[in-house]
Structure 1
Amino acid sequence: MSQSPFLTKVRKDIRLRGYSIRTEKTYIYWIKQFIYFHHKKHPAAMGAEEVKNYLSSMAENRSVAVNTQKVALNALVFLYHKVLNKPLGDLNFRYATKQRHLPTVLSKEEVQRIIRCMSGRNGTVIKLLYGSGLRLNECLRLRIQDIDLKENALTIRDGKGNKDRKTLLSPSLKYELEELILKAKKIQIEDNKRGTGPSMPHGLSKKYPNGFRQHKWMYLFPSTTICNYPGSSIQCRHHLHDTVIGKALRKALIDAGITDKRVTCHTFRHSFATHLLQGGRDIRTVQELLGHNDVKTTQIYTHVIGLHYAGTSSPLDALAL
């Protein structure tokens, strides 16, 4: 199924539009699920009614979260609008009702305990997730040109929603980042001698054919191995895989004695936002730093700390007990 001519065409269309590898994998996954749901019927022979039935089934039979349903919708809209040139129109499907849970947030003391149990490169990644509010893959995709040690700022390129943004960088990380930049440059120099270098986005590799030789394009957290660029035989060095950090974090949680919370790398982004709001930062500023399109997404953190009812007194306080 994954090697079918149709899905190969979909992959090519996704790459031509400059979407990330993660988006490509996600879209292909949901398109496959859609095809399987309709007993392997070709998408060209289906349309809005089949898409509506599939999305409604996700809500009725699978009890998925509304965000999961929206991702599947995005994949199918891309398929029909961009690949098949068959606009779906108004689908009027049933939306999922499973509500998003409040995110897990660490206390400042817990963050400190975890960081103290991590060292070197892995520790720096966690510090960036918490100190700059990054998603894990945003952090791992950082290139040398994205680090501004003079202005204490990071540039996040092609983040969620294909958006670029700037966020703050803690001056306390300057020495660690300088060391990582130096190491990354040495790796790139050795790779260049073998005719390879950091992986480049498809369009940029054509625009800058020698970009892999320029230090600014080198990943801050390079992979330890050389691989083939997805869908080609071109060798390159990609960024570190996210499972490496996840494994290191699980060990640190045990060492820190934090086993009563479900903590992932994304928890540090949640903690970043929550602690900024607790410190009195404006919600619009936090929204911008996180890269949220809608302030409603950021407002979930006000629920975590109770700011949504700030200034409201309990009716019990008015009773003369």
Structure 2
Amino acid sequence: MDGKPRLLDQVREQIRLKHYSIRTEQVYCEWVKRFIRFHHYQHPGEMGAAEVEAFLSDLAVRKNVSASTQNQALAALLFLYKQVLKLDLPWLGEVVRAKKPSRLPVVLTITEVQGILAQLEGDIWLVANLLYGSGMRLMEVLRLRVKDVDFNRGEIVVRDGKGMKDRVTVLPRSLVAPLKQHFAVVRARHAAELEAGRGDVYMPFALERKYPKAPWEWCWQYVFPATGLSVDPRSGKTRRHHIDEKRVQRGFKAAIKRAGIVKLATPHTLRHSFATHLLDSGQDIRTVQELLGHSDVKTTMIYTHVLNRGGLAVLSPLDRM
């Protein structure tokens, strides 16, 4: 034994050095394990393009996974070879990437959004309103800290969004009062936890070492804390995290059913609806791009296609009769 860490431990170490999320860590490690098992526990350093191609082909042909799942697996393996094994990849160009199908996003009408929101209550109602009212992604809402909601300026600062970028989006005026009431409840609970000797929260990017008292401060608390305590899988500490996204997803699915809506909508559909309804009202596409955090305006342009009604706004000849 030379004391060298196991391969998966090396993967985790590199992921944490780059400040990737715990979900990315879990997903990448799972794909690396599946890749090694597929090739009968052969070390990845002894494999190359042919083995990666065989694994990805098996996913597509035998497992019938989607293009996004296949590309996720490829991303995990490229991270393994480039960042962990530090191997040159002359064969990278030989690996065929699955092409994502070009599909328009599901968008709800304003009436449908109102119908769904009317079926929700409590924290989930507030989360759903923020999704539609600000265009944030679900995890961006759930990871919000108290300090990032600015009532005076009417804005929300999204920290470490997709691509690890910060951005500013709108805080709907209609949510100011409900959010302030929610903050009062959360702050009272936090004060009670401090009295009980708890009340600390997870700090990103090792800020806990730089600011040792920060985890207990009110400004760093989650806007949507979980109802119970949980164990941090990285540090092993027991504390209160944000609410689980699955709780929001289940609540949203039930609300769609109660509202009688047949579209295949998810909480993320509210973000699509936010963008589409802004453009429909005449908002500039560059502004919508910034609010959504898109790097390229081409990504935002997809919502202009959604706005074209009735087959690219063409009047059917049947309607001319």
**Range of TM-score over shorter length:** 0.7 to 0.9
After the TM superposition, which of the residue ranges 24-33 and 107-116 deviates more from structure 2? 24-33
Q: Distance in 1 between matches of 2:289 and 2:270?
A: 16
Secondary structure (helix, strand or coil) at the match of 1:163 reads: coil
| Residue identity opposite 1:118 in structure 2 | L
Q: Which residue of 2 aligns with 1:306?
A: 308
Q: Which residue of 2 aligns with 1:256?
A: 259
Q: Which residue of 2 aligns with 1:46?
A: 47
Secondary structure (helix, strand or coil) at the match of 2:225 reads: coil
Shift of 1:62: 5.1
Q: TM-score, normalised by structure 1?
A: 0.88
Query: Compared with structure 1, are the counterparts of its residues 281 and 94 closer, same or farther at alpha carbon in structure 2 (3 Å cutoff)?
Result: same
Query: Compared with structure 1, are the counterparts of its residues 163 and 119 closer, same or farther at alpha carbon in structure 2 (3 Å cutoff)?
Result: same
1:216-240 CA-to-partner distances (Å, cap 9, x unmatched) read 1100000111112112322221100
Q: Which residue of 2 aligns with 1:179?
A: 181
Shift of 1:53: 4.0
Answer yes or no: is the 8 Å Cα contact 2:198–2:239 preserved in 1. Answer: no
Q: Which residue of 2 aligns with 1:290?
A: 292
1:169-191 CA-to-partner distances (Å, cap 9, x unmatched) read 10110011112222222222233
| Residue identity opposite 2:244 in structure 1 | H
1:125-167 CA-to-partner distances (Å, cap 9, x unmatched) read 0000001111111100001011011111111111111111111
| Residue identity opposite 1:78 in structure 2 | F
Q: Distance in 2 between matches of 1:34 and 1:156?
A: 35
Q: Distance in 2 between matches of 1:242 and 1:251?
A: 14
Q: Which residue of 2 aligns with 1:235?
A: 238
| Residue identity opposite 2:44 in structure 1 | P
1:272-318 CA-to-partner distances (Å, cap 9, x unmatched) read 111111112222222211112222222222222228x97x867969x
Q: Distance in 1 between matches of 2:24 and 2:179?
A: 28
Query: Compared with structure 1, are the counterparts of its residues 302 and 220 closer, same or farther at alpha carbon in structure 2 (3 Å cutoff)?
Result: same
| Residue identity opposite 2:32 in structure 1 | I
Matched, 1:104 2:85: no
Q: Which residue of 1 aligns with 2:204?
A: 201
Q: Distance in 2 between matches of 1:287 and 1:92?
A: 34
How many residues end up aligned between the 2 structures? 314
- Structure 2 unmatched runs, 5+: none
Shift of 1:93: 2.2
Answer yes or no: is the 8 Å Cα contact 1:63–1:98 preserved in 2. Answer: no
Q: Which residue of 1 aligns with 2:247?
A: 244
Shift of 1:23: 1.7
Answer yes or no: is the 8 Å Cα contact 1:229–1:236 preserved in 2. Answer: yes
Taking only aligned residues, the RMSD between alpha carbons, in angstroms, comes to 2.6
Q: Distance in 2 between matches of 1:78 and 1:230?
A: 21
Query: Compared with structure 1, are the counterparts of its residues 93 and 118 closer, same or farther at alpha carbon in structure 2 (3 Å cutoff)?
Result: same
- Structure 1 unmatched runs, 5+: none
| Residue identity opposite 2:284 in structure 1 | D
1:1-321 alignment runs, 5 A limit: 5-55=6-56, 57-58=58-59, 64-89=65-90, 90-193=92-195, 194-258=197-261, 260-306=262-308
| Residue identity opposite 2:233 in structure 1 | P
Query: Compared with structure 1, are the counterparts of its residues 42 and 187 closer, same or farther at alpha carbon in structure 2 (3 Å cutoff)?
Result: farther
Answer yes or no: is the 8 Å Cα contact 1:18–1:203 preserved in 2. Answer: no
Q: Distance in 2 between matches of 1:62 and 1:301?
A: 32
Shift of 1:38: 2.2
After the TM superposition, which of the residue ranges 229-238 and 260-269 deviates more from structure 2? 229-238
**Identical counterparts, % of pairs:** 44
Shift of 1:241: 0.3
Answer yes or no: is the 8 Å Cα contact 1:65–1:100 preserved in 2. Answer: no
Query: Compared with structure 1, are the counterparts of its residues 289 and 65 closer, same or farther at alpha carbon in structure 2 (3 Å cutoff)?
Result: farther
Query: Compared with structure 1, are the counterparts of its residues 287 and 29 closer, same or farther at alpha carbon in structure 2 (3 Å cutoff)?
Result: farther
1:252-274 CA-to-partner distances (Å, cap 9, x unmatched) read 2232222x111211111111111
Answer yes or no: is the 8 Å Cα contact 1:65–1:99 preserved in 2. Answer: no
Q: TM-score, normalised by structure 2?
A: 0.88
After the TM superposition, which of the residue ranges 47-56 and 290-299 deviates more from structure 2? 47-56
